[in-house]
Structure 1
Amino acid sequence: MKKFFSLFYTNLFLNNRLFMALGFCVMLFLLKFFFAWLADIPAIAFGVLILFFFADIFILYRKKNGVHAQRLCPKRLSNGDENPISIEVKNNYAFALGIKVVDEVPHQFQLRDKTFLLSLKPNQTKSIHYQLRPTKRGEYDFGFIRVFVSSPIGLLARRYNFDAQTILPSFPSFMNLGQYELMAVSQHLQAFGIKKIRKIGQSSEFDQIRNYVGGDDIRTINWKATARKSELMVNNYTDERSQNIYCVIDKSRVMRMPFEGLSLLDYAINASVALSKVAMLKQDKAGLITISEKLGTVLPAEKKASQLGSILQILYKEKTRYLESNLEALYLAVRSVIKQRSLVVFFTNFESLSALQRQMPYLKRISRYHLLVVVFFENTELKSLSSNHAEDVEGIYHQTIAEKFIYEKKLMVKELNRQGILSILTPPQALTINVINKYLALKAQQKI
């Protein structure tokens, strides 16, 4: 009994309508001092209010399970993407309800406004839909669903607490992998931001001998087969396959810089997952290496079905470190792990030309044995600062410094090109598209 009354009091709330009714009764009692003709009207009004008060309690608590609510969400969240969340609410009362739903979202989102108002007819079910965008990998703890129901009287609200506590992991971005899969096989890539690249030369990987068809390149005619068959036969060639594609991710302090809530490391991780997916669709092998002040994870390149899942599991746990990256350890790992010429995409960031020059000897050594692409980032905040109108001397100073840093980034690209190293200087938001663009270009030009 004590537990029942405890639940009764803790889950009973007073609505604004009750306070308005009480205020009306108080006003009537005050007016009675000036207007004798009101007589017993204030007392009668207050008595009716008390009657409705207890009637409201009775009809709200007469049913044990008056409403039911459940949260529908994916098994895991996609980092940096809008993830759909829905709540289903069903009215089991025999009358219409006014309902307020409060969902306890994980504290990482710092949201206090996930409150939804709706009305439900008897035995009606409605769904509430909203989206959450995580900006960090890790676990997100969802709490209770609080449902406040009010009867047509509307003086009180009864709270239902539904234990919908669940912990969802936030993995590197995987929601758009289907789009990138379409990009890998589509002939209309401009719609996705992928450039159309003219393929030069032809592959030397022989596929089969087939009959000549009008329009075939006469240089592919197989004269020996033609003599045997007494009809024109041509050699059919296919694109070379099963090249090694390694994504190397720098986890040092330079990758902690945030843009639109996501760190540079998260942008690099999301791009690596997408590039690995596209590479495996192109029949290439995808591998992974992480590096900071010491060598991190090394995943040899494979194209088996479980490879993408292994990459996701590894990158889910990766965090930035606070020291400089050790490219000597990276070079030793590349030489010992990667046995054949491969495409190595190195995600890092350089804020000054001197920082690049310190690492240049190791980059040159890696590029001697593999096709190296260095990916680093534009500082979009500096770019917007340099384009703003300066209103005073201090503004001119800030604009000049911003332009200096932007120009230095362009010098880094030229320095890498001078050393024969391919590079991509990209805004963080366009990283995935630009990296896939580069991969498809290199694939079309048969550089790997």
Structure 2
Amino acid sequence: MSEAAVRDRPLSAIGFARPAPLLIACLVACAAIGGAAAFGSIGLETWAWTCAALAALAVFDVLALRRTPTPEVRRLLPDALAIGVEREVQLEFAPGEHRRTFDVHDLHPGAWESEGLPRRIVLNPGTVASVGYKLRPTARGAFEFEGVQMRLRSPLRLWRQSRVAGPPHAVRVFPNFVPLTRFALLSADQASRLVGAHLKRRRGQGTDFEQLREYRVGDSLRQIDWKATARAKKLISREYEDEKNQQIVLMLDTGRRMLARDGALGHFDQALDASLVVAYLALRQGDGVALHASGGDRRWVPSQRGAASIDVLLRAAYDLQPRAEATDYLAAATELSLLQRRRALVLWVTNVRDEDSEDLLAAARMLQKRHLVAIASLREQALDDIMASSAPNPEDAVLAGATARYLAERAQAHEALRRHHITVLDVTSAQLPAALVQQYLSVKRDGLL
């Protein structure tokens, strides 16, 4: 970078020169000499020449620092990251004409976890210097690295100056889609077992013809193909597979109910991850998947098909965030009814509270007129921990009693929904992926769509 480029950078990128510890020590020594001169130990002329020499050196050194070019730097980092996944970031510094030593700190988003910063760099002529550090994104969305901050030292080590080099670097943080790759070579049954879903295998109960095979004990008479039986002179049964080309709508609450946290990730992050697991399995099964978000952030992604469409859902949902706003369940149901005209399985992820039960019930019944509705009600893990622990003192006993009452009211709200034939999944965020997958595959096996 040229000297003109350094001068033309905004003030926020080039800080003021500050005295280094060596200059401060020299000033203290000069003050001590002045004290000695005041008491006549040394001559005033000696002290004056000492101060003048120090001032001349300081001015020369700060001017030399100002003329020193800022090292050129390049950051090696993908433009797409996954939340909670540690990545290695490399900073490469172009060689200059002289040996340089400076401290470096990368201006990554402040809330992210990093390890290995700041670092001291020794930049030799003709040699590219590189330094790596570990970075873990802690939130989804669009972010920007403001640059690389360097603390340069003047030639005589009397001054230090902070500079920011490198252009801004925009990155997007997606949900952690790496677990989805575990399902790439697995069948729906194998993938469902991998996430903890438990389904009984029922042969021949689908609606799409798959193959003919020899009759097995337990096959229904309706499965027997009599023409094939006559040709083969033995009983031949038709085997069916689950119907394809069905519709799934993932309905996510982005309101204040989803701001709760269990562990490192919030409820909404875990709900989004679980929804993507179901979406990936459904797309591989040949079904269409749509996504609807309401409450805080609002988003609609029309039905997608094909396993590659998971990328469309990831890009559309990566920056969704819950907000401290009340969710209007009736408005969300009305909007979805207008957007999704074809019958679908609606998997609605929220956190049901007693005070919301009437609005949620009305919204679910509205959707029931055309769709099959299942509501996943997220339960905070802390509630289970309180109920499982003992109460050694009165304060813990009061807390356990209040928790038991809250859970009872919550169960009543769930029961009110079930009385109207609405499926309710009362699960923690850790149980959610298995519960959603199991519900989806159960509906397909039973032919309810």
TM-score, with normalisation over the residues of structure 2?
0.71
Q: Structure 2 stretches of 5 or more lacking a match?
A: 42-46
2:245 touches 2:288 (CA, 8 Å); kept in 1? Answer: yes
- CA positional deviation for 1:345: 0.4
Q: 1:239 aligns with which of 237, 242, 253?
A: 242
Superposed displacement of residue 389, structure 1:
6.1
Q: Deviations over 1:377-428 (max 9, x none)?
A: 2133444455566565444323321222133334444454454332222333
C-alpha separation between the residues in 2 aligned to 1:399 and 1:324? 28
Aligned-partner SS, 1:164: coil
Distance 1:111 1:84 in 2: 11
**CA distances 1:97-117 after superposition (whole Å, capped 9, x unpaired):** 54321222346x388999411
1:284 maps to which of 273, 278, 287: 287
In structure 2, what is the Cα distance between the partners aligned to 1:163 and 1:124?
16
Structure 2 SS opposite 1:439: helix
Distance in 1 separating the partners of 2:4 and 2:203: 85
User: What amino acid maps onto 2:432 in structure 1?
Assistant: L
Residues 235/258 of structure 1: CA separation in 2 closer, same or farther (3 Å cut): closer
Residue identity opposite 2:73 in structure 1: A
Q: State the 1:77 CA deviation.
A: 5.0
- How far apart, CA to CA, are the structure 1 residues paired with 2:154 and 2:390? 58
Aligned to 1:64: 69
Alignment of 1:376 onto 2:360: no
Query: Aligned letter for 2:130?
Result: K
Distance 1:207 1:102, change over 3 A: same
Tell me, yes or no, if the aligned pair for 2:244 and 2:285 is still in contact at 8 Å. yes
Note if contact 1:249-1:347 (Cα within 8 Å) is conserved in structure 2: yes
The 5 Å alignment of 1:421-440 reads: 421-428=422-429, 430-440=431-441
Instruction: Report which stretch shifted further, 123-132 or 50-59.
Output: 50-59
Q: Secondary structure at the match of 2:118?
A: strand
**Structure 1 residue aligned with 2:44:** none
Work out the CA distance in 2 between the residues paired with 1:57 and 1:435. Answer: 65
User: Is the aligned partner of 1:325 residue 2:335?
Assistant: no
Aligned partner of 1:128 in structure 2 is 132
Asked if the contact 2:349–2:378 (Cα under 8 Å) also holds between the matched residues in 1, the reply is: no
Distance 1:15 1:446, change over 3 A: farther
The aligned counterpart of 2:168 is 165
Q: How much does 1:338 deviate?
A: 3.6
Shift of 1:280: 0.8
**Candidates 18, 21, 31, aligned match of 1:16:** 21
Q: Deviations over 1:310-352 (max 9, x none)?
A: 6743674676473452437616843883433x32101222222
The residue aligned with 1:334 is 337
Return the match for 1:117 from 112, 116, 119.
119
* Partner secondary structure for residue 408 of structure 1: helix
Could you tell me how far 1:231 is from its partner in structure 2?
Answer: 9.1
Distance 1:190-1:297 versus aligned 2 partners, 3 A rule? closer
Query: 1:284-323 CA deviation, whole Å, 9 max, x = no partner?
Result: 1101334459x96554433155575267436746764734
Q: 1:390 touches 1:399 (CA, 8 Å); kept in 2?
A: yes
The equivalent residue for 1:186 is 186
Q: 1:81 is paired with a residue of what secondary structure?
A: coil
Cα distance change, pair 33–319 in 1 and its aligned pair in 2 (3 A): closer
Amino acid at match of 1:287: A
* Structure 2 CA distance for aligned equivalents of residues 328 and 100 of structure 1: 54
Distance 1:29 1:264, change over 3 A: same
Q: What is the number of residues matched between the two proteins?
A: 433
Query: What secondary structure, in the 3-state scheme, does the structure 1 residue paired with 2:373 have?
Result: strand
Contact 2:115–2:133 (CA under 8 A) maintained in structure 1: no
Contact in 1 for aligned 2:113/2:135 (Cα 8 Å): no
**Which residue in the other structure is 1:140 paired with?**
143
Hey, what does 1:347 align to over in structure 2?
349
The within-5 A match list for 1:286-325 is 286-292=289-295, 298-303=300-305, 305-306=308-309, 308-309=311-312, 312-313=315-316, 316=319, 320=323, 322-325=325-328
Aligned partner letter, 1:428: S
Structure 2 counterpart SS, 1:99: strand
Between the aligned partners of 1:4 and 1:86, the Cα distance in structure 2 is: 25
Distance verdict in 2 for CA 1:413–1:5, change over 3 Å = closer
Q: Report the residue type matching 2:228 in the other structure.
A: A
Letter in 1 for 2:77: C
Aligned amino acid, residue 431 of structure 1:
L
- Check if 1:272 corresponds to 2:275: yes
The equivalent position to 1:206 in structure 2, one of 197, 204, 209, is 209
Q: 1:384 to 1:224 in 2, by over 3 A?
A: closer
The one of 68, 74, 77 aligned to 2:78: 74
In the alignment, does 2:252 pair up with 1:249? yes
Q: How does 1:29-48 map to 2 (within 5 A)?
A: none
1:120 partner amino acid? V
Counterpart code for 2:330: L
Who is 1:405 aligned against?
406
Normalising to structure 1: TM-score of the pair?
0.72
Question: Aligned partners of 1:6, 1:332: CA distance in 2, in Å?
Answer: 52
Q: Which amino acid aligns with 2:78?
A: P
SS at match of 1:350: coil
Distance 2:438 2:54 in 1: 71
Q: Which amino acid letter does the alignment assign opposite residue 396 of structure 1?
A: A
| CA separation of 1:222 and 1:88: change in aligned 2, threshold 3 A | same
Q: Does structure 2 conserve the Cα–Cα contact (< 8 Å) formed by 1:199 and 1:445?
A: no
Does the 8 Å contact 2:350/2:375 carry over to 1?
yes
Query: Share of identical aligned residues, percent?
Result: 17
- 1:167-213 deviation per Cα after TM superposition (whole angstroms, max 9, x unaligned): 4455xx43x32422423653665895423433124224213457x6x
Shift in alpha-carbon separation, 1:128–1:44, aligned structure 2, 3 A: farther
Instruction: Give the gaps of 5 or more residues in structure 1.
Output: 37-41
Q: Distance in 2 between matches of 1:435 and 1:241?
A: 18
* 3-state SS of 2:244 partner: coil
Q: Distance in 1 between matches of 2:157 and 2:347?
A: 63
Which deviates further from its counterpart, 80-89 or 231-240?
Answer: 231-240
Deviations 1:125-179 (A, max 9, x none): 2232232434364x43431311224589755545443132244455xx43x3242
Residue 133 of structure 1 aligns with an amino acid whose one-letter code is P
